[in-house]
């Protein structure tokens, strides 16, 4: 089985070429002009007060991005919640959640929501499109010190006290074009609205960090820019639920399995952990796996004498209904890789802590 590619994503990131693709890109460029007009109008309506922002009775910290795809926003949300808990505050996460259908055909809870609830069992995670209503209903019978608004940079309807934007250092702005011709959700100058910029995966970045910082200065960004890395923290044997140390994959030939917006970063993290990737099964972002997918992967492992498949924590949630297939394959082990967001230096960490804890 070949890798399941996301053709539309490959088009907008200029990974595919050809006469017909060029025509398609032209139409996407025209649509991006319409999109720019809509985004510009929406921002102006809210900033001018014609459209009213709703303010909750407690603090709101937004964590968002300016591109589609995997920027590393989820580890940042987890880090925030953990820091607030450590400081005796009551955080609540507001997320829209991406719903899909499992192999039974029934609606499933978002894999990201499930993962957040597993990692943060003592932090309420409210999932749903109307995040304002979810927050207000929660406050009717519960207390909260701070709401963490997941994917909130473009959620202009809800006022926030702090706007944090995650920027993927491995692919900070794609080809520099707006949706649907590129991966930008807003023009780059919109980053000036943010209070804090977080560069993620800086240890894997292809562009030099200095060039990213210079670009931010060129567009007028004067807020703190904090560098972070996604540090591998361990493994879980998904057949037994047993935690395992990273060293067991060092020097091992493995297959990687994920459905992420940025699969290359996952592969790079595995490689830095000492694994040798024989094949990466990269599915489209938010893909819902089926039995045929898993059986094909396992057959590839048997043919090539691969005894380990490694996936992400998010994908581990989506694979829960399919673990019986792996249980039958006694010669193939399935692990999920845990990563945590860490800071590259004390200066960045101190700037981050000061900004998120000083919301008065």
Q: How many CB atoms lie within 10 A of CB 128?
A: 14
Domain spanning 59-101+108-230+342-357: CATH superfamily: P-loop containing nucleotide triphosphate hydrolases (3.40.50.300)
pLDDT (tens, 9 = 90+) of the chain, 360 residues, equals: 445 557 788 888 888 899 999 999 999 999 999 999 999 999 999 999 999 999 999 999 999 999 998 899 999 999 999 999 999 999 999 999 865 444 434 345 688 899 999 999 999 999 999 999 999 999 999 999 999 999 999 999 999 999 999 999 999 999 999 999 999 999 999 999 999 999 999 998 778 999 999 999 999 999 999 999 999 999 999 999 999 999 999 999 999 999 988 898 999 999 999 999 999 999 988 889 999 999 999 999 999 999 999 999 999 999 999 999 999 999 999 999 999 999 999 999 999 999 999 975
Looking at residue 7, its pLDDT comes to 79
Cβ atoms of residues 73 and 173 within 8 Å:
no
Residue ranges of domains in the chain: 59-101+108-230+342-357, 233-339
Beta bridge partners of 254: 277
Of the CA atoms within 13 Å of residue 129, those in its CB half-sphere come to: 1
Domain spanning 233-339: CATH superfamily: Response regulator (3.40.50.2300)
Residue keyed to tokens 């804890």: 357
**Two tokens at 360?**
């008065």
Domains 59-101+108-230+342-357 and 233-339 share a fold: yes
Looking at residue 206, its pLDDT comes to 73
Looking at residue 197, its pLDDT comes to 98
Q: Which of 31, 25, 291, 54 is nearest to 157 (CA)?
A: 54
Helix H or strand E segment including 217: helix 209-218
Looking at residue 147, its pLDDT comes to 98
Q: How many CB atoms lie within 10 A of CB 305?
A: 9
**Two tokens at 185?**
């959700």
Cβ atoms of residues 248 and 224 within 8 Å:
no
Cβ atoms of residues 184 and 59 within 8 Å:
no
Beta bridge partners of 225: 197
């Amino acid at each position: 089985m070949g890798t399941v590619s996301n053709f539309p994503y490959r088009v907008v990131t200029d990974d595919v070429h050809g006469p017909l693709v060029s025509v398609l890109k032209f139409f996407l460029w025209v649509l991006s002009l319409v999109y720019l007009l809509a985004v510009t109008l929406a921002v102006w309506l809210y900033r001018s007060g014609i459209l009213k922002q709703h303010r909750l009775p407690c603090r709101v910290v937004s964590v968002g991005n300016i591109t589609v795809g995997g920027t590393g926003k989820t580890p940042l949300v987890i880090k925030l919640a953990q820091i607030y808990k450590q400081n005796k505050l009551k955080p609540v996460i507001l997320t829209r959640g991406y719903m899909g259908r499992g192999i039974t055909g029934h609606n499933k809870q978002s894999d990201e929501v499930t993962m957040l609830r597993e990692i943060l069992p003592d932090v309420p995670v409210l999932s749903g499109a109307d995040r304002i209503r979810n927050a207000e209903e929660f406050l009717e019978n519960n207390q909260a010190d701070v709401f963490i608004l997941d994917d909130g940079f473009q959620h202009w309807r809800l006022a926030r006290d702090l706007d944090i934007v995650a920027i993927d250092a491995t692919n900070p702005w794609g080809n520099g074009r707006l949706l649907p011709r590129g991966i930008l959700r807003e023009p780059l100058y919109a980053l000036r609205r943010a209070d804090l910029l977080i560069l993620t995966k800086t240890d894997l970045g292809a562009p030099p960090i200095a060039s990213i910082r210079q670009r931010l200065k060129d567009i007028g960004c004067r807020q703190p820019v904090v560098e972070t890395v996604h540090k591998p923290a361990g493994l879980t044997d998904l057949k037994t639920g047993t935690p395992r140390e990273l060293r067991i994959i060092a020097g091992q030939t493995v297959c990687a399995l994920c459905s992420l917006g940025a699969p290359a970063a996952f592969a790079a993290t595995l490689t830095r952990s000492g694994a040798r990737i024989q094949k990466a099964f990269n599915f489209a972002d938010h893909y819902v796996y089926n039995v045929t997918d898993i059986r094909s992967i396992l057959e590839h492992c048997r043919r090539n004498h691969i005894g380990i498949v490694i996936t992400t924590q998010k994908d581990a949630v989506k694979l829960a209904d399919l673990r019986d297939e792996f249980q039958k394959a006694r010669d193939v082990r399935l692990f999920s890789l845990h990563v945590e967001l860490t800071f590259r230096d004390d200066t960045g960490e101190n700037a981050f802590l000061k900004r998120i804890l000083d919301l008065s």
